[in-house]
């Protein structure tokens, strides 16, 4: 489409828009005024007719109503008239039959009356507040509608004449404008072909002339810029050659070639920056290579360890397994993918019955393992007969390092050491236990002797003999209990964590140790709560060795005092906020403050050479730790106080707690 035609159409569109707006405004003003007046006239006609027929309606003068309606219908605008009583009965009506046949519906405005070309108006006949009837009338809208249509036709005719005149004048204006633009078009074509020296002729002083001047200036500027760009292109080609040299150096560096020298590092432009960056890259590659060698050395070192090591990344997948881990867990690893997680490893181990600790509720056990506190050692039994001391450590930027050390032999040696210590304790207690056994044996011997004397004198008394036999049975039971305590305490630990009752263990150990302490004039007192469940998880026999070790230490401390005799007090509190709390207090003078922080170290002892190995408290510390508890020591009153805190086990034991032993 040519510029001339665009100009004519543009002007025509402007004229069309203006005329359309004028016609719309004119029609809106005319139509709005005429329709409003007609609607008002309909309402006025209803009021006038209401006043005219009110007397006739009140008097129910139907003849007068008919005459009045017939007279009113003489107007061409009225289509129909109807008068109804308050009950809706038609008193009189007249007009077009088709309009009267349609049910009456009041028109709220002129627009609603366009459908049937009749304005339907009703008005109540009211006198002094009393309604005597209703007037319904229809006023024709055809005259007003014809008037509005005629005005629209004249407006359209005027608009067509105006648009024709605009088209003529637009054609002339377009011809003038296109004559000026032809020079600009020819100049643009010259520039498109590469002739930047092109200059077009400038005519007049209007906007098109200014455009021609700008065009000529643009052509001169483009010519100058082309010369500058050509110079810059030559410079870039030279730089490209140097960049190629540096890129070749980077390629050699990336292949770890030796003796690569990077040129142009002394330049101050982009080539120099790139060369210096390449040197940095070269140094980084050397550092990466060195780190790779260090990593290889670290992997080799891990492979030399007997301890199992597995590293899991931040996303959970395995990154590294050392040789010991792969060898020990080969059957499990064969069932796993290469990118397995720690959770998958534990699940596969449970499926292969490799973790006896998992029991029947393997999902809970695996969840507990994954939620373990990092850095805290935990022993795990590994089928068939191994014990692993495992540690999970969270390393920033790496992930989780899982390590396991086989402590089976160590635990076996510890159990042997504990067993030897128990046997030594029983040996130390032998004198007191012998004294304790002599008492029931003496009673039995005297009762038996008296019975023999009665028989020799032929004095048989059934009640007497029955009482003596019952007495002998009681003393036999007493001796049997002492022997059973020694037998249970002397057996080897099974290495199984099971729930047991602290109340029963404390009672049995106090009974077992009291006789031996009494020979040294040391009283052993036990205070237990009347109610409460004292169940804990652990190895009962090893825990009882801890108690006897503490009793033995208290005895030695009291015996070391100048005066003989003393007291060992055992107190227990169950279900405290911290768990089950035991306190063993003595009157042995206390522990020197300088050694309190070393008390639980292996082979540390305050006893004279030959009287102690320094392992008792160290083993006790490990035993309580394995039970999830804590043992501490401090000085209180006349001696030392050892506090043992153990977590409560959620296991209900039977009602087998023995009676609380008195002093």
pLDDT category at 641 given cuts 50, 70, 90 is very high
For residue 60, what pLDDT is reported?
Answer: 79
**φ and ψ at residue 111, rounded to 5 degrees:** -65, -35
Arithmetic mean of pLDDT, 169-180: 67
pLDDT category at 483 given cuts 50, 70, 90 is low
Arithmetic mean of pLDDT, 647-661: 52
Q: Does the pLDDT at position 407 exceed 50? A: yes
For residue 115, what pLDDT is reported?
Answer: 74
Q: Does the pLDDT at position 109 exceed 90? A: no
Cβ atoms of residues 262 and 275 within 8 Å: yes
| Residue found by looking up tokens 């008005």 in the block | 123
Q: Does the pLDDT at position 648 exceed 80? A: yes
Q: Does the pLDDT at position 435 exceed 80? A: no
pLDDT category at 569 given cuts 50, 70, 90 is very high
Q: From the DSSP assignment, how many helices (H) and strands (E) are in the chain?
A: 16, 16
Share of the chain above pLDDT 90, in %: 5
CA angle 151, 152, 158 (to 5 degrees): 90
Q: Which of 152-166, 567-581, 586-600 has the highest mean pLDDT?
A: 567-581
Q: Does the pLDDT at position 391 exceed 50? A: yes
For residue 572, what pLDDT is reported?
Answer: 93
| Closest by CA position to 589, among listed 573, 602, 604, 606 | 606
For residue 102, what pLDDT is reported?
Answer: 82
| Closest by CA position to 338, among listed 355, 365, 320 | 320
pLDDT category at 658 given cuts 50, 70, 90 is very low
Q: Which of 3-17, 297-311, 521-535 has the highest mean pLDDT?
A: 521-535
Please give the sequence-ordered ranges of beta strands (E in DSSP) within 463-618, or none if there are none: 498-501, 522-527, 535-538, 566-576, 579-586
Reported as a single tens digit per residue, the pLDDT across 261-314 is 888 888 888 888 888 888 888 888 888 877 777 777 777 777 777 788 888 888
Render 301-360 in DSSP notation, one character per residue.
HHHH-SSEEEEEETTSBEEEE-HHHHHHTHHHHTTS-TT-BHHHHHHHHHHTT--GGG-S
**Sign of the CA dihedral running 416, 419, 424, 425:** positive
The model's pTM: 0.35
Ranges 315-319, 407-411, 497-501: which has the least confidence: 407-411
Cβ atoms of residues 571 and 582 within 8 Å: yes
Measured CA to CA, the distance from residue 566 to residue 586 in angstroms comes to: 8
Arithmetic mean of pLDDT, 333-343: 89
Q: Does the pLDDT at position 654 exceed 50? A: no
For residue 32, what pLDDT is reported?
Answer: 62
Q: Does the pLDDT at position 126 exceed 90? A: no
Q: Does the pLDDT at position 211 exceed 50? A: yes
Q: Token pair for residue 365?
A: 């056990």
Arithmetic mean of pLDDT, 366-388: 83
Arithmetic mean of pLDDT, 177-192: 71
Ranges 61-75, 77-91, 440-454: which has the least confidence: 440-454
Share of the chain above pLDDT 70, in %: 80
Q: Does the pLDDT at position 645 exceed 90? A: yes
CA angle 156, 157, 158 (to 5 degrees): 90
């Amino acid at each position: 489409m040519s510029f001339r035609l665009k100009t004519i159409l543009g002007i025509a569109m402007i004229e069309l828009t203006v005329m359309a707006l004028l016609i719309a405004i004119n029609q809106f003003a005319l139509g709005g005024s005429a329709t409003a007046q007609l609607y008002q006239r309909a309402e006025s006609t209803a009021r006038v007719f209401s006043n005219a027929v009110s007397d006739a309606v009140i008097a129910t003068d139907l003849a007068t109503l008919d005459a009045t309606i017939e007279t009113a219908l003489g107007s061409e605008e009225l289509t129909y008239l109807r008068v109804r009583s308050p009950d809706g009965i038609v008193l009189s009506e007249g007009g077009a039959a088709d309009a009267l046949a349609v049910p009456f519906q009041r028109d709220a405005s002129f627009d609603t009356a366009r459908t049937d070309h009749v304005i339907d108006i009703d008005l109540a006949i009211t006198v002094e507040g009393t309604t005597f009837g209703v007037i319904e009338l229809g006023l024709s809208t055809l005259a007003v509608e014809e008037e509005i249509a005629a005005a629209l036709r004249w407006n359209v005719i005027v608009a067509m004449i105006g648009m024709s005149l605009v088209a003529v004048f637009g054609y002339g204006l377009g011809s003038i404008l296109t004559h000026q633009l032809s020079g600009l078009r020819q100049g643009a074509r010259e520039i498109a072909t590469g002739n930047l020296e092109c200059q077009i002729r400038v005519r007049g002083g209007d906007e098109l002339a200014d455009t021609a001047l700008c065009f000529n200036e643009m052509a001169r500027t483009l010519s100058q810029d082309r010369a500058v760009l050509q110079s810059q292109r030559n410079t870039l080609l030279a730089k490209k050659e140097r960049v190629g040299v540096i890129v070749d150096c980077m390629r050699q560096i990336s292949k770890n070639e030796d003796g690569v020298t990077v040129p142009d590092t002394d330049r101050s432009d982009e080539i120099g920056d790139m060369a210096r960056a390449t040197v940095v890259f070269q140094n980084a590659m050397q550092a990466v290579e060195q780190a790779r060698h260090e990593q290889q050395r670290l992997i080799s070192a891990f492979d030399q360890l007997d301890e199992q090591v597995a590293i899991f990344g931040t996303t959970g997948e395995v990154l590294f397994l050392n040789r010991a881990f792969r060898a020990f867990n080969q059957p499990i690893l064969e069932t796993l993918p290469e990118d397995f997680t720690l959770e998958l490893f534990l699940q596969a181990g449970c499926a292969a019955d490799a973790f006896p600790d998992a029991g029947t509720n393997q999902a809970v056990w695996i969840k507990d393992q994954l939620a373990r506190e990092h850095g805290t050692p935990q022993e795990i039994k590994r089928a068939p007969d191994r014990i692993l001391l495992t540690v999970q450590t969270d390393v920033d930027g790496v992930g989780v390092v899982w390590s396991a050390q086989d402590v089976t032999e160590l635990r076996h040696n510890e159990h042997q050491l504990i067993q030897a210590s128990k046997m030594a304790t029983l040996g130390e207690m032998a004198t007191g236990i012998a004294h304790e056994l002599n008492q029931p044996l003496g009673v039995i011997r005297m009762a038996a002797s008296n019975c023999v004397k009665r028989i020799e004198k032929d004095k048989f008394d059934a009640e007497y003999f029955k009482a003596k036999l019952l007495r002998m049975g009681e003393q036999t039971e007493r001796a049997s209990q002492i022997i059973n305590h020694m037998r249970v305490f002397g057996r080897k630990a099974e290495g199984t964590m099971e729930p047991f009752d602290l109340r029963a263990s404390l009672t049995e150990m106090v009974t077992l140790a009291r006789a031996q302490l009494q020979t040294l004039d040391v009283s052993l007192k036990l205070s237990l709560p009347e109610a409460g469940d004292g169940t804990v998880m652990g190895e009962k026999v090893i825990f009882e060795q801890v108690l006897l070790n503490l009793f033995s230490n208290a005895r030695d401390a009291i015996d070391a005092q100048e005066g003989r005799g003393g007291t060992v007090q055992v107190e227990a509190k169950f279900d405290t906020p911290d768990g089950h709390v035991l306190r063993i207090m003595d009157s042995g003078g206390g522990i020197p403050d300088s050694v309190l922080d070393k008390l639980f170290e292996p082979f540390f002892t305050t006893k004279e050479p030959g009287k102690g190995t320094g392992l008792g408290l160290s083993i006790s510390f490990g035993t309580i730790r394995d039970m999830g508890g804590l043992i501490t020591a401090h000085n209180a009153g006349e001696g030392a106080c050892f506090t043992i805190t153990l977590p409560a086990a959620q296991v209900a034991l039977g009602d087998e707690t023995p009676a609380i032993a008195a002093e």
